[in-house]
């Protein structure tokens, strides 16, 4: 064992009372201490926070942690204050002006070892100026999938982080997330400007979680079965559904069946959402029926089930949501109540926020003709675009090098921007590719729901984690069908994770085999499932 590994394990044991480090933790800490940018993709409960806590304690200088969850920031600060004798603080909208001033003064005087920031604080000039002159030795981006538009919790404020990294003098960047399929990982690395990062993916399998899909053709039987299943299942639990209206309808149906259930969605007042969450966390409410608004920060160990009344928008979202069940390690269930017709709702939502060439041109014109960088609010007023469309248009123009998002949040024309017509055309093409990619992710949700092989293997292969069925903890394997090999080794023309090229769709990565079907994640158009016989007959794939 190396001397550094011994030091890491000693700090983990003495400061954090860990008997041993979990898979992936030591590798990530070692990479950070070696000065490498690091992306750690590890399931919830696998100890991601310990990575930056231990690495931050061992690196000289301050550690800045960007996290969108204020409640989690508070918990982490209290924990670190006990372990590091008060050298941790948070900076967010909940602080008074006096508290902000004291925190910034402590940071400027090198009193703080850890400073936790909400992402919107990066647009504050006073905060940014203090960061720029401080000795920041590590920048941590928690919930890093928020920087990716492929991610299920995309936050526009995270787009400033790439510029922040440069302004801080490029300290090592540690990005952490509990779920990130290959496209999300790639965008995290790109948007944060990570250089030759160590990418550590561990622990996606949750053996205590039983996977099941119940299939229906009509909506009323589906809803009756869902309510009955909730009634008979061990509590507490979470039911996810696609729309605000459905949360209220299903919660009412469950209450009539004798279940203590409440709806939760973004249309509710903030205090109503907070009180609903508090009652759930304290076991006063047994079931929350929610949209995806009931998301990050819901850390309740004893959730016994997560049911989906309709398919999620992607397997990324689905995995994140079902991961809220069984965090105590005890048996839990993840059941999808599936109608193929419900995928149409997801396709509709995938179209919201889409922009066309006219929208992109509006944004490009305003930014190019402005004498100074443009505030997002001014850009919104000038273009008359919704916030989601504006964010999308700016992102696509940034992708093609036409604009840049400054640390202040302002948008400016890039110094070496291509000619405007060319930039607009390329940005529109990029957006069309993303639209196709989004549709392909919905298709992968369908593939999971309709598979006749091990569901755990299907889910884990999506995230690039190999698994040999049967798992014994999904409805397919329990029926004795999941132990069939995905394809005989002799019939597999390409190895898993190998690179291939298609004459129309370009290069991609082999994801999984199921019977005579092969799924490839293509770089430009997303996930495609091909029949092996057709591939062979038409010579559609070659090794890249």
Question: At residue 347, does pLDDT exceed 90?
Answer: no
Which tens digit of pLDDT belongs to each residue from 80-136?
887 766 688 888 778 888 888 888 888 888 888 899 988 888 777 778 788 877 888
Question: At residue 148, does pLDDT exceed 80?
Answer: no
Where in the chain is CATH 3.40.50.300?
Answer: 3-202, 209-344
Element (H, E) at 75: helix 70-83
Where in the chain is CATH 1.10.10.10?
Answer: 352-433
Q: Is 62 helix (H, G, I), strand (E, B) or coil?
A: strand
**Cα three-residue angle 219-222-224, rounded to 5 degrees:** 110
**CATH 2.102.10.10 correct for 3-202:** no
Confidence band, pLDDT 50/70/90 cuts, at residue 154: low
- Say what the pLDDT of residue 472 is: 92
- What CATH number matches the domain at 209-344, 3.40.50.300, 3.40.980.10, 3.40.630.10, 1.10.600.10? 3.40.50.300
Q: Is 73 helix (H, G, I), strand (E, B) or coil?
A: helix
Top-level CATH class of 352-433?
mainly alpha
Question: At residue 152, does pLDDT exceed 80?
Answer: no
- Say what the pLDDT of residue 486 is: 46
Highest mean pLDDT (candidates 251-255, 266-270, 356-360, 427-431): 251-255
- Say what the pLDDT of residue 351 is: 61
- Say what the pLDDT of residue 352 is: 60
Share above pLDDT 70 across residues of the chain, in percent, rounded to a whole number: 94
Question: At residue 302, does pLDDT exceed 60?
Answer: yes
In this prediction, residues 499-524 reach a mean pLDDT of: 88
Which tens digit of pLDDT belongs to each residue from 514-526?
888 889 988 888 8
Rounded CA separation 271/265 (Å): 12
Supply the angle between the helices 244-256 and 219-232 in degrees, to the nearest 10. Answer: 60
State the chain's maximal CA–CA distance in angstroms: 72
Contact 338, 217 (CB under 8 A): no
Nearby residues of 479 by Cβ (< 8 Å), 6 or more positions away: none
**Cα three-residue angle 69-75-80, rounded to 5 degrees:** 120
The fold for domain 485-544 equals SH3 type barrels. (2.30.30)
- Say what the pLDDT of residue 222 is: 95
- Residue of 6 and 199 predicted with greater confidence: 199
Nearby residues of 222 by Cβ (< 8 Å), 6 or more positions away: 214, 216, 309, 337, 339
Confidence band, pLDDT 50/70/90 cuts, at residue 184: confident
φ, ψ at 455 (rounded to 5°): -70, -35
Q: Which long-range contacts (CB under 8 A, 24 or more apart) does 369-374 make?
A: 370/413, 372/412, 373/406, 373/408, 373/410, 373/411, 373/412, 374/410, 374/411, 374/412
Which tens digit of pLDDT belongs to each residue from 431-490?
888 888 888 888 899 999 999 889 999 998 888 787 888 999 999 999 987 555 544 555
User: For 504, which DSSP code?
Assistant: T
Question: At residue 269, does pLDDT exceed 50?
Answer: yes
In this prediction, residues 394-421 reach a mean pLDDT of: 88
DSSP letters along 462-482, please? Answer: HTT----S--SSBHHHHTT-T
């Amino acid at each position: 064992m190396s001397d550094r590994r011994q030091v890491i394990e000693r700090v983990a044991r003495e400061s954090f009372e860990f008997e041993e480090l979990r898979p992936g933790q030591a590798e990530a800490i070692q990479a950070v201490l070696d000065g490498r940018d690091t992306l750690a993709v590890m399931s919830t409960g696998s100890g991601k926070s310990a990575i930056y806590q231990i690495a931050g304690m061992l690196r000289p200088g301050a550690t800045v942690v960007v996290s969108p969850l204020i409640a989690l920031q508070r918990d982490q600060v209290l924990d670190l204050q006990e372990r590091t004798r008060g050298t941790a603080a948070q900076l967010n909208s909940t602080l008074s002006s006096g508290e902000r001033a004291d925190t910034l003064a402590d940071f400027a005087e090198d009193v703080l070892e850890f400073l936790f920031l909400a992402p919107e604080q990066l647009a504050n000039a006073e905060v940014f100026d203090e960061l720029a002159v401080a000795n920041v030795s590590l920048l941590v981006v928690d919930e890093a999938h928020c920087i990716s538009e492929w991610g299920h919790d995309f936050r526009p404020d995270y787009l400033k982080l790439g510029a922040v990294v440069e302004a801080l003098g490029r300290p090592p960047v540690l990005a952490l997330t509990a779920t990130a399929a290959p496209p999300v990982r790639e965008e995290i690395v790109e948007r944060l400007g990570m250089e030759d990062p160590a990418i550590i993916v561990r622990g996606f399998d949750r053996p205590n979680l039983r996977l099941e899909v119940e299939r229906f053709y009509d909506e009323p039987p589906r809803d009756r079965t869902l309510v009955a299943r909730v009634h008979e299942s061990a509590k507490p639990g979470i039911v996810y559904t696609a729309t605000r209206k459905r949360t209220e309808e299903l919660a009412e149906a469950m209450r009539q069946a004798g279940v203590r259930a409440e709806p939760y969605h973004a249309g509710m007042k903030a205090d109503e959402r907070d009180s609903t969450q508090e009652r759930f966390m304290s076991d006063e409410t047994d079931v929350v029926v929610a949209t995806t608004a009931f998301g990050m920060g819901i850390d309740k160990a004893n959730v016994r089930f997560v049911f989906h009344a309709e398919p999620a928008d992607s397997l990324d979202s689905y995995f994140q949501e079902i991961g809220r069940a069984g965090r105590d390690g005890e048996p839990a269930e993840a059941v999808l109540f599936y109608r193929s017709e419900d995928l149409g709702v997801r396709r509709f939502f995938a179209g919201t926020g889409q922009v066309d060439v006219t929208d992109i041109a509006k944004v490009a014109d305003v930014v190019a003709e402005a004498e100074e960088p443009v505030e997002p609010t001014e850009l919104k007023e000038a273009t008359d675009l919704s916030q989601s469309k504006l964010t999308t248009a700016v992102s696509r123009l940034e992708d093609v090098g036409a604009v840049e998002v400054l640390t202040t949040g302002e948008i400016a024309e890039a110094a070496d921007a291509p000619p405007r017509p060319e930039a607009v055309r390329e940005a529109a093409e990029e957006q069309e590719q993303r639209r196709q990619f989004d549709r392909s992710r919905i298709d992968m949700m369908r593939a999971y729901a309709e598979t006749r092989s091990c569901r755990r293997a299907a889910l884990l292969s999506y995230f690039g984690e190999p698994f040999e069925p049967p798992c014994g903890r999904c409805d397919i394997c329990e029926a004795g069908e999941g132990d069939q090999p995905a394809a005989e080794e002799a019939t597999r023309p390409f190895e898993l994770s190998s690179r291939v090229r298609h004459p129309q769709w370009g290069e991609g990565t082999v994801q999984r085999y199921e019977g005579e079907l092969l799924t490839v994640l293509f770089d430009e158009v997303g996930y495609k499932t091909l029949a092996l016989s057709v591939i062979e007959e038409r010579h559609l794939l070659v090794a890249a």
